[in-house]
């Protein structure tokens, strides 16, 4: 039998490569998983992996990365084709190909559209910027739906020349909202996917993937443009086909995301199941049940981190509220809303408990009817959490939830109160 030498070292490159070093005849030889030595990345598949996937994949990213990126690629490709149809319609609407159209009129229309979009970006970021982290899935899907609506408006605009400028500005406004919501939620998902503080690498590779997809879309568009020119029926038919694919891929993409941090929806789903049968759902189970469409609440709205005057109206009410076992938050129900005032020294665990009480109250109190004895319900929520929260919190940790930080939508107000209230 041939002497294979004595193994003296083994090294790995993530899960992709394993090398063995042996001493043989006074020299060092290396083999890769029992095969002959070959340079890393020499195969075409290895080259593609290094160009388009983050370093250290799959260990350096979340477990849902590949599935999400697949559907994200499909939606980007279909959106690219829809965008080509919309761009062609916009150019025709501003007068490209029309000898009677003037450069000045087209320029004014374009400037009005861009200006409306700029204002829309500022206003939307002001109104909803703090929601884009806590409800990233919902706003990601909303952005893509709104983008399709905007492109459909651009396709229809040339058929209504008297309203073209108004339609173009409205479409520009929608696309501005899409840009803010899409970019911000993409950043939030990148934070989730990064497992080695490699957000920049993931973002850069995501840009490479998107560029490749857009290049493929460009090549297909070169074939489509001659077919759809002066053929409105075919343009609209193809647009609806690409839009259907786009929306389906987006839905599958956000559904594939499994976030281990708690927002209000995921915390509520886990809490309700725990109070029902004592079992804490895993992140995978809770994410599957999390709604991904923006909708109207059927329960009382919740506001976290509000001012003291929104919870209590007098020193006597504050004195009674502070009789609760030293909980570092105050909770009340005013004007049809569950409000939580948080102490300055509260920790993440306290934030989760306060949110649990607020969610329970929101569930048991219907906004469609008046309730008496609200202070009694608040007191009951404290008693419930006194007996159930410790076990629930431990269950969250054991089930794989990240309880060191949350995506709960807390405002910035924090309160310090005196030990005694006269």
Percent of the chain with pLDDT over 70: 86
Q: Which long-range contacts (CB under 8 A, 24 or more apart) does 103-112 make?
A: 109/164, 109/165, 109/168, 112/165, 112/168, 112/169
Non-local CB neighbours of 200 within 8 Å, separated by 6+ positions: none
Q: Which CATH number fits domain 65-257: 3.10.110, 1.20.1250, 1.10.10, 1.10.3470?
A: 1.20.1250
Dihedral pair phi/psi, residue 418, rounded to 5°: -75, 150
Q: CA–CA separation, 329 vs 322, rounded Å?
A: 9
What b/e sequence results for 71-85 when a residue is b if at least 16 CB atoms lie within 10 Å of its CB, and e otherwise? bbbbbbbbbbbbbbb
39-70 residue pLDDT tens: 545 577 778 888 999 998 889 999 999 999 99
105 neighbors 378 (Cβ within 8 angstroms) = no
Task: Tell me the two tokens of residue 330.
Answer: 């105050």
Q: What is the pLDDT of residue 158?
A: 82
Q: What is the pLDDT of residue 304?
A: 95
pLDDT value at 1 more than 50: no
Greatest C-alpha distance within the chain: 93
Q: What is the pLDDT of residue 210?
A: 93
Q: CA–CA separation, 248 vs 294, rounded Å?
A: 16
Percent of the chain with pLDDT over 90: 57
Please report which confidence band the pLDDT of residue 3 belongs to, taking 50, 70 and 90 as the band edges.
low
401 neighbors 281 (Cβ within 8 angstroms) = no
Q: CA–CA separation, 136 vs 29, rounded Å?
A: 51
195-227 residue pLDDT tens: 999 999 999 999 999 999 999 999 999 998 888
pLDDT value at 250 more than 50: yes
Most confident stretch, 4-8, 87-91, 277-281: 277-281
Please report which confidence band the pLDDT of residue 36 belongs to, taking 50, 70 and 90 as the band edges.
very low
Residue written as tokens 């504050």? 318
Q: Give me Rg for the CA atoms of the chain.
A: 28
For residue 338, what are the β-bridge partners? Answer: 302, 333
pLDDT value at 125 more than 60: yes
Write the secondary structure of the chain as one string of H (helix), E (strand) and C (coil).
CCCCCEEEEEEEECCCEEEEEEEECCEEEEEECCECCCCCCCCHHHHHHHHHCCCCCCCCECCCHHHHHHHHHHHHHHHHHHHHHHHHHHHHHCCCCCCCCCHHHHHHHHHHHHHHHHHHHHHHHHHHCCHHHHCHHHHHHHHHHHHHHHHHHHHHHHHCHHHHHHHHHHHHHHHHHHHHHHHHHHHHHHHHHECCCCHHHHHHHHHHHHHHHHHHHHHHHHHHHHHHCCCHHHHHHHHHHHHHHHHHHHHHHHHHCCCCEECHHHHHHHHHHHHHHCCCCCHHHHHHHCCCCCCCCCCCCEEECCCHHHCCCCHHHHHHHCCCCCCCEEEEEECCEEEEEEECCCCHHHHHHHHHHHHHHHHHCCCCCCCCCHHHHHHHHHHHHHHHHHHHHHHHHHHCCEEEEECCCECCCEECCCCCCC
* Domain limits, the chain: 6-40, 65-257, 262-415
68-99 residue pLDDT tens: 999 999 999 999 999 888 887 776 655 554 55
Q: CA–CA separation, 180 vs 175, rounded Å?
A: 9
Q: What is the mean pLDDT of the chain?
A: 86
Q: What is the pLDDT of residue 422?
A: 53
Please report which confidence band the pLDDT of residue 143 belongs to, taking 50, 70 and 90 as the band edges.
very high
Q: CA–CA separation, 136 vs 187, rounded Å?
A: 9
356-373 residue pLDDT tens: 999 999 999 866 555 556
307-340 residue pLDDT tens: 999 988 777 777 766 656 567 899 988 888 999 9
Q: What is the pLDDT of residue 103?
A: 62
| Average confidence (pLDDT) over 133-154 | 94
Residues for the chain: how many in total?
422
């Amino acid at each position: 039998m041939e002497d294979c030498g004595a193994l003296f070292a083994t090294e790995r490159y993530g899960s992709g490569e394993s090398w063995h070093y042996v001493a043989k005849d006074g020299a060092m030889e290396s083999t890769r998983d029992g095969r002959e030595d070959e340079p890393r990345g020499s195969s075409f598949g290895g080259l593609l992996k290094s160009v388009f996937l983050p370093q250290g994949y799959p260990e350096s990213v979340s477990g849902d990365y590949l599935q999400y990126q697949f559907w994200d690629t499909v939606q980007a490709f279909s959106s690219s084709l829809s965008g080509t149809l919309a761009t062609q319609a916009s150019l025709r609407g501003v007068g490209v190909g029309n000898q009677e159209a003037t450069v000045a009129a087209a320029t004014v229309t374009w400037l009005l559209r861009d200006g409306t979009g700029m204002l829309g970006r500022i206003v939307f970021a002001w109104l909803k910027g703090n929601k884009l982290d806590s409800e990233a899935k919902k706003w990601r899907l909303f952005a893509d739906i709104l983008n399709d609506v905007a492109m459909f408006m651009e396709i229809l605009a040339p058929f209504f020349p008297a309203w073209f400028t108004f339609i173009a500005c409205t479409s520009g406004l929608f696309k501005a909202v899409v840009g803010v919501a899409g970019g911000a939620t993409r950043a939030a998902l990148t934070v989730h996917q990064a497992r080695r503080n490699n957000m920049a690498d993931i973002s850069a590779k995501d840009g490479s993937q998107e560029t490749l997809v857009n290049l493929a879309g460009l090549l297909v568009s070169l074939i489509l443009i001659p077919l759809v020119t002066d053929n409105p029926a075919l343009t609209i038919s193809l647009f609806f086909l690409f839009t259907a694919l786009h929306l389906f891929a987006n839905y599958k993409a956000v559904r594939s995301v499994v976030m281990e941090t708690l927002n209000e929806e995921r915390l509520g789903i886990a809490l309700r199941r725990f109070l029902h049968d004592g079992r804490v759902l895993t992140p995978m189970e809770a994410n599957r049940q999390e709604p991904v469409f923006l909708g109207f609440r059927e329960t009382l709205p919740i506001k976290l981190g509000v001012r003291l005057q929104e919870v209590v109206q007098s020193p006597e009410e504050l004195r009674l509220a502070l009789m609760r076992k030293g909980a570092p938050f105050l909770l009340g129900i005013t004007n049809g809303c569950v409000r939580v005032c948080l102490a300055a020294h509260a920790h993440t665990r306290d934030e989760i408990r306060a949110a649990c009480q607020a969610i329970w109250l929101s569930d048991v109190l219907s906004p469609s009817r008046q309730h008496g004895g609200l202070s009694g319900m608040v007191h009951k929520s404290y008693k419930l959490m006194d007996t159930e929260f410790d076990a629930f919190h431990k269950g969250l940790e054991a089930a794989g939830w990240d309880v060191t930080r949350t995506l709960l939508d807390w405002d910035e107000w924090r309160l310090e109160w005196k030990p005694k209230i006269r």
